Amino acid sequence: MAAFDALAEAPQAVQAAELQALAATDPVVAAALAKMLAVDEQASALDTPVGRSPDAAPAPPPSASIAQRTDAAADARLQAALADRYRLDAVLGRGGMGAVYRATALADGRPVALKVLHAEARRDPEATRRFAREARLLGRITHPHVLGLLDSGTTATGVHYVVTEVLHGVPLATAIAEGAFDGLRTARVIRQAAEGLAVAHAQGIVHRDIKPDNLFLEWAGGRDHLKILDFGIAWFAEASVQTADGAVFGTPACMSPEQARGAAAGPASDLYSLGVVAWSCLTGRPLFEGNTPLAVLMQHLSAAPPPLDPAVVDGELAALVGQLLAKAPEARPASAQAVAERAARIEARLAAERGAPAAVVGPGGTVWADDGAPGAAPTGAAAGRTGWWLRGAVALGIAALAALAFTLAR
């Protein structure tokens, strides 16, 4: 691995010479290594502000008052452009590419999250395409474990926006940072993510960037309720994984071996990434670590996953995670739906062993646990009505048995 790190740090002329020499003896490895170096370069460039070279002297930060005035003016222009449809209530976050607002839909008073692209980002054709692609793909998927798209469009002033449901909770990455999950909670994460992926895959959509930051945990029905986020680099299964310049998409920490090689990323790639997420849930740390993205990618290509502790992790759950992490796509589970079904069985067994409510079978045979999704136990007033009906039925049953026992005694 040190040799790969050294190559990543070498001048481009040295890299080219080394790759040319390697291609003469092992062209497949040389091609994969070239892809790794490209990803490493792309990742390094992420730390450089747009329009600045990596070697340029750092620019002085703008004064807070100027930044605040600029943001306030942008907010006012956006509110004016959307005045007939949405009321902007608060800024949930700002980043280099855009901003997210908590807003209210004027048609029905529903709280929503409204995401827009900054003017600078709108001048980047790729950023605009990615934003539009996410809206288009989210519009094709309706599922309790996928972030729900409510609206999208472009204002008269050229601002691209996407409106989704508001989420209340934390990214899975935040939850993992607080400590490793037990087997039951991990099985639930796998099941819910796999159910959402199964619907996306059935639409011919591959996410390509499943990672803890793109999985969000809400608290519903006393359980984690997971949502899959960010379909911005998703693609249709019949499309090519590469752009014209051969770029590799995904996050190195969770990237499948075939993605790392620059090969086509099919549904099995999402399953590998889900296996990486599950391993991190069970251990509280990344599957592979390294000083550079290249070092991490090379481990995804050739290193065996560190074994899970059998004294801590359920054997059946460990076997599922191990199969998800198979290097060869064909060695992984056959589909996301198959993963969801296996995870549901593990979840139900672990819940029964703990004495917690087990999963139930919902409409269409889909397996759900009590996590606020279809098939979950009712809450609030509905729960009270259900409880009253159940208590009445039990009381009548006991009375009937008592009457029968009295009759037989005579």
Q: What is the pTM of this model?
A: 0.70
The packing angle between helices 293-302 and 2-9, to 10°, is 140
Q: Give dist(CA 82, CA 88) in Å, integer.
A: 9
**Residue 216: pLDDT over 60:** yes
pLDDT of residue 122: 72
E strands along 190-324, which residues?
205-206, 215-220, 223-228, 235-236
**Residue 187: pLDDT over 70:** yes
pLDDT of residue 118: 75
209 has catalytic annotation: yes
Comparing 29-33, 140-144, 208-212, 220-224, the range with the smallest average pLDDT is 29-33
Q: Give dist(CA 14, CA 16) in Å, integer.
A: 5
User: Residue 236 — very low, low, confident or very high, per pLDDT cuts 50/70/90?
Assistant: very low
37-59: average pLDDT: 42
User: Residue 407 — very low, low, confident or very high, per pLDDT cuts 50/70/90?
Assistant: very low
pLDDT of residue 65: 54
| Domain limits, the chain | 66-165, 170-368
Q: Give dist(CA 320, CA 332) in Å, integer.
A: 9
DSSP annotation of 324: H
DSSP annotation of 261: T
E strands along 126-230, which residues?
149-154, 160-165, 169-171, 205-206, 215-220, 223-228
E strands along 211-348, which residues?
215-220, 223-228, 235-236
359, 367 Cβ separation under 8 angstroms: yes
Q: Give dist(CA 168, CA 216) in Å, integer.
A: 9
E strands along 223-345, which residues?
223-228, 235-236
Q: Give dist(CA 97, CA 119) in Å, integer.
A: 9
345-366 in b/e form (b: 16+ CB < 10 A) is bbbbbbbeeeeebebbeeeeeb
Same fold, 66-165 and 170-368: no
pLDDT of residue 136: 80
Q: Give dist(CA 176, CA 253) in Å, integer.
A: 15
Region 170-368: CATH code: 1.10.510.10
Q: Give dist(CA 96, CA 392) in Å, integer.
A: 59
178-200: average pLDDT: 97
Q: Which of 147, 150, 164 is nearest to 228 (CA)?
A: 147
**Residue 42: pLDDT over 80:** no
Residues linked to residue 227 through DSSP beta bridges, in sequence order: 216
Region 66-165: CATH code: 3.30.200.20
Comparing 157-161, 203-207, 375-379, the range with the smallest average pLDDT is 375-379
What pLDDT, in 10s, does the model give residues 316-328?
A: 999 999 999 999 9
Q: Give dist(CA 270, CA 130) in Å, integer.
A: 19
> Which residue type sits at 322?
G
Neighbours of 151 (CB within 10 A): 16
> For the residues of 76-89, what is the DSSP string, one character each?
HHHHHHTTTTEEEE
Catalytic residue among 89, 151, 182, 209: 209
